[in-house]
Structure 1
Amino acid sequence: MTGFLSRPYFTDRVFYLYEDTYKFAGEQERLVTYHSSTADPVQVRIDDELNRTLTIGGQSYAIADISNPYSIKFRVTYPNGHVYSVEDNNGLLWSYDDKGNIVMAIQVYANGERIKEEGEEDFQPSALVIGAYPDYHIKRGMPGFLFFAIGLLIFGWCSFRYQAFQDLMFRLSPQRFMYENPEPSDFYYLMSKVGGIVVMIGSIIVAFKAY
């Protein structure tokens, strides 16, 4: 049930602008809208094949694809006139200012509020490129952990509840070959139950790893 209800979390492609998560909300003609539950919506207007305009909080950022046969590059122009370039290095985006210096992403928060340093832009150039191009949007979480957690939960429940399963695990244990005509003891059954409880608790922890 948890996996079914969480399906949109794992299947929807998203992007991030600092602490805010955005996902596709709708498209009308050449205008794509992305919504976040914690911030203003983002709109991306596809001007033409090489140019896009990303708008957030009333501010518009022009993004141009200036790629060549040897590299994938973008030019990002801010409302204040500042221009940055963004290069795709095997899927990893690097931002540079107009002097060719790398722009590092530094995030400082106090009481849940972001504190900007002097001269720092509202958003990183690479983050704007990611928002403008769906190819850079990602899927969240690792749903494989849910299947692993289900397996652990079943194993733990059987170890706790069913003596037949406890006997099976005893017969499969290599330690029984150390004794002649070995039989499970009361202590073994007790430890099987305790172990089953531990495994079931562990399955819950593993399930949270999926998120």
Structure 2
Amino acid sequence: MEIIRSNFKDNLNKVYEAIEEADFLAIDGEFSGISDGPSVSTLTNGFDTPEERYQKLKKHSMDFLLFQFGLCSFKSDHTEAKSSPDVKFVCQSSSIDFLANQGFDFNKVFRNGIPYLNQEEERQLREQYDEKRSQANGAGTLSYISPNATKCPVTIPEDQKKFIERVVEQIEDLIQNEENKSLQLEPCTGFQRKLIYQTLSWK
């Protein structure tokens, strides 16, 4: 919202309300000058605290005219955080420059774009989901998996194959050897337990 002389009185109450309802405020100023003495680079240094920097700049700027005052009021969003992954990505300056010159709308990408996962990200997310569901049902339980859920060979991710093969071999050895009455399996995630169950069911 831009407030100038002609609409100042009409919008003053809105400003008061925004301040009263805000969880925190941010301000900004544009002045007719920034230092009546030393340059800003000479006046401040990288070891200044925010308070020290503010006091130094304030001391040498009080005689200048305030051209514009910016006020932002913020409210905390108390809605539950999304469980989607916090994705990191890289950019190439030449590509960004090309897109910007062609009028590409970067805001639309991040605000209205359709999210997606690659295969590895999807696998990891499913594993996390299965782990949470397993914990909700009780550690070690497989009650949420139907015995008839898998009627075909299970596709096991490469990074899980050695673990699944080792555990399945231990279980088969337990079944075939009458002397063994119990088996202590190494800790595993809900996703790994599901793979074990499905692999044994298919066999």
TM-score interval, normalised by the smaller of the two chains = under 0.3
Q: Higher strand fraction: Structure 1 or Structure 2?
A: 1
Quick one: higher RCO (CA 8 Å, sep 6+), 1 or 2?
2
| TM-score normalised per structure 2 | 0.27
| TM-score normalised per structure 1 | 0.26
